[in-house]
Amino acid sequence: MDFIKNIGKDEIRDGFLVTTDRKKAWNKMMELLAEIDRICKNHSIKYFAEGGTLIGAARHNGFIPWDDDLDISMLRPDYERFKQVAGQELRYPVIASSAYTSGEILTIMKVMDVETAAIEEMDGHRQQGIFIDIWPLDDITDGSGRVQAVWDIRQSLIAAINNPVGTLEEIQKGTQFRPSNDFIRAFIDLPVLERFKEYEKFCNNHFGESENIGYQFSKIMGIKGNLKLKYYRDVVYLPFESVEIPVPVDYEKVLEAEFGNWRKFVRARSFHELQYMSADVGYKEIQAKVKHELKTVAERA
């Protein structure tokens, strides 16, 4: 199904050339979104357009012309439920890629078509098809002592997952981690996927204790401010290309908190910095062709 109008024709949108190849990639993302939407409706799971996709819905009634991805978010309890059912519901070549299936510790989930290409690393061994990112929203500090304590423990856990050697070195220097250094040492002894499973369980068990929510690494990614849980108390629908997609009921407040003046056009660089994207050719085929060409060039040199 074509979700993108005039998919076979280049066009200018807001002064930016949108090629047929970009439209085909967008259309594949919309196909993936339709699958996510089907699953969420079947299991009463709520999701929201996120980031640049939310800006696109609110400002362009579709993709930001220079955007190359589609992002959605879920509150942590819905994210955990989606994670449980996605693998059973999706059919090849569409897969759910997570820390438990990808071979790397992903703090988000990707729903991906592995017969397409969205290549970030040409030499990478992980699956790199066109995808939708699903971001879990967790409690963020709101000034209360209990929420701050939970936040500190989460920070300790994620440090012990991503950098266990550095965490142990900090303990040797005298740094005190929550809940205790003895706990963190024992935590690091667990296999990495067990550590991550316990981290996600902890996030889920403590969801809803704060007025603020957000993605764990929002500040690192440049998100400006905290979001309020009440902004996500319900969904409304905005036009997006040829369909309507769910957004937070207070989506303008979300956009103001995340981006400030979101109505102003800013041609930001892609967060993913994709080397190749194709809805027609799979990432494995592209990788093989590029490697063959490089080998040929090297042999001729």
Q: What is the pLDDT of residue 120?
A: 86
Residue 193 has pLDDT above 70, yes or no: yes
Rounded Cα distance between 150 and 152, Å, is: 5
- Average pLDDT of every residue of the chain: 93
Rounded Cα distance between 106 and 264, Å, is: 32
Q: What is the pLDDT of residue 217?
A: 77
Q: What is the pLDDT of residue 220?
A: 53
> Dihedral, CA atoms, 67, 158, 213, 63, nearest 10 degrees?
10
DSSP assignment string, 150-197: HHHHHHHHHHHHH-HHHHHHHHHHTPPPSS-HHHHHHHHTS-HHHHHH
Q: Mind listing the pLDDT tens digit for each residue in 122-148?
A: 887 889 999 999 999 999 988 899 999
Give the model's confidence band at 64: pLDDT under 50 very low, under 70 low, under 90 confident, else very high. Answer: very high
Query: Beta 117-119 vs 71-75: how paired, if at all?
Result: unpaired
Q: What is the pLDDT of residue 102?
A: 86
Q: Mind listing the pLDDT tens digit for each residue in 142-189?
A: 889 999 999 999 999 999 999 999 999 999 999 999 999 999 999 999
Rounded Cα distance between 199 and 154, Å, is: 7
**Residues 106 and 196 sit within 8 Å (Cβ to Cβ):** no
Alpha-carbon separation of residue 250 from 9, 78, 115, 237 (angstroms): 35, 19, 37, 11
Q: How many C-beta atoms surround the C-beta of residue 179 within 10 A?
A: 13
> Dihedral, CA atoms, 103, 109, 112, 114, nearest 10 degrees?
0
DSSP code of residue 62: S
Q: What is the pLDDT of residue 271?
A: 57
Nearest Cα to Cα of residue 255 among 268, 245, 264: 264
Q: How many C-beta atoms surround the C-beta of residue 17 within 10 A?
A: 11
Complete domains list, the chain, with CATH: 11-138+222-300 (3.30.460), 143-209 (no CATH)
Q: What is the pLDDT of residue 8?
A: 96
How would you class 274 by CB atoms within 10 Å of its CB: exposed for 0-12, middle for 13-18, buried for 19 or more? Answer: middle
Task: Choose the weakest-confidence range: 217-221, 247-251, 258-262.
Answer: 217-221
Q: Mind listing the pLDDT tens digit for each residue in 265-284?
A: 988 665 566 788 999 999 99
Angle of CA points 128, 97, 242, to nearest 5°: 75
Q: How many C-beta atoms surround the C-beta of residue 245 within 10 A?
A: 23
Q: What is the mean pLDDT of residues 289-300?
A: 83
Q: What is the mean pLDDT of residues 196-216?
A: 95
Q: What amino acid is encoded at 122 in this protein?
A: M
- Element at 79 (helix H, strand E): helix 76-89
Residue 259 has pLDDT above 70, yes or no: yes
Rounded Cα distance between 34 and 64, Å, is: 19
Q: What is the pLDDT of residue 126?
A: 85
Q: What is the pLDDT of residue 299?
A: 81
Q: What is the pLDDT of residue 182?
A: 98
Q: Mind listing the pLDDT tens digit for each residue in 69-104?
A: 999 999 999 999 999 999 899 999 999 999 998 888
